[in-house]
């Protein structure tokens, strides 16, 4: 599905959804493609990480389902060209979380930052930065190169510009 915007999940009438819609920028028309996608389907969820397309493959991580449910730490791919979901089982995955930053970076890998976790029944913001290598299918925790870090946060809004290989971040919510 080249040159289309893809929308997965979110809350519909107050409940998590597992629907997939595409928006054609030419016709400005939405199409529900949920029933034509093959493979096992991820659970309905909100506040998941959903990356940009890497050669037609979109990655989705974590999120949270119905109210009161536990966060997830599953990693899925949506092959937008062949319309197929696949769940990836990767050792060393980040702990279950939702409302994290999840972006595609130059070179095609993914960065995951922060997010909300549930610890002893309390919502706790995370400051973990992890890289997912899409070629090696491996997660790596990245230790900051300086003592100055953005701190734990959830609902980060990432806008990235790679100027001398540094990631700039703006956050909406911080704990």
Which of 2-6, 11-15, 26-30, 58-62 is the least confident region? Answer: 2-6
Question: Distance (Å, rounded) from C-alpha 94 to C-alpha 153?
Answer: 15
Instruction: Report residue 11 as tokens.
Output: 């809350």
Question: Distance (Å, rounded) from C-alpha 63 to C-alpha 73?
Answer: 7
Q: By CB neighbour count within 10 A (0-12 exposed, 13-18 middle, 19+ buried), where does 22 fall?
A: middle
Edge-to-edge order in the sheet of strand 138-141: 101-104, 110-113, 129-133, 138-141
Question: Distance (Å, rounded) from C-alpha 64 to C-alpha 73?
Answer: 9
Question: Distance (Å, rounded) from C-alpha 108 to C-alpha 40?
Answer: 25
Question: Distance (Å, rounded) from C-alpha 130 to C-alpha 34?
Answer: 30
Residue 21: the pLDDT is 92
Beta-strand (E) ranges in 66-106? Answer: 71-79, 84-88, 101-104
Higher-pLDDT residue of 173 and 139 is 139
**Cβ–Cβ under 8 Å, residues 141 and 129:** yes
**Digit-coded pLDDT (tens) for 29-72:** 899 999 999 999 999 999 999 887 778 899 999 999 876 678 99
Question: Distance (Å, rounded) from C-alpha 83 to C-alpha 90?
Answer: 22
| pTM listed for this prediction | 0.83
The strand pairing partners of 101, in sequence order, are: 113
Instruction: Report residue 173 as tokens.
Output: 């919510």
């Amino acid at each position: 599905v080249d040159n289309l915007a893809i929308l997965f999940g979110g809350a519909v009438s107050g409940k998590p959804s597992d629907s997939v819609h595409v928006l054609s920028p030419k016709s400005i028309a939405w199409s529900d493609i949920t029933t034509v996608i093959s493979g096992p389907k991820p659970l309905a969820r909100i506040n998941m990480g959903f990356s940009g397309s890497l050669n037609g493959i979109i990655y989705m991580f974590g999120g949270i389902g119905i109210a009161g449910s536990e966060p997830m730490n599953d990693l899925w791919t949506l092959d937008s060209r062949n319309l197929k979901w696949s769940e990836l089982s990767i050792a060393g995955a980040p702990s279950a979380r939702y409302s994290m930053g999840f972006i595609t970076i130059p070179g095609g890998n993914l960065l995951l930052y922060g997010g909300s976790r549930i610890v002893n029944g309390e919502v706790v913001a995370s400051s973990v930065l992890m890289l997912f290598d899409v070629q090696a299918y491996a997660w790596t925790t990245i230790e900051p190169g300086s003592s100055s870090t953005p701190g734990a946060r959830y609902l980060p809004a990432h806008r990235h510009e790679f100027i001398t290989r540094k990631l700039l971040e703006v956050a909406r919510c911080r704990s």
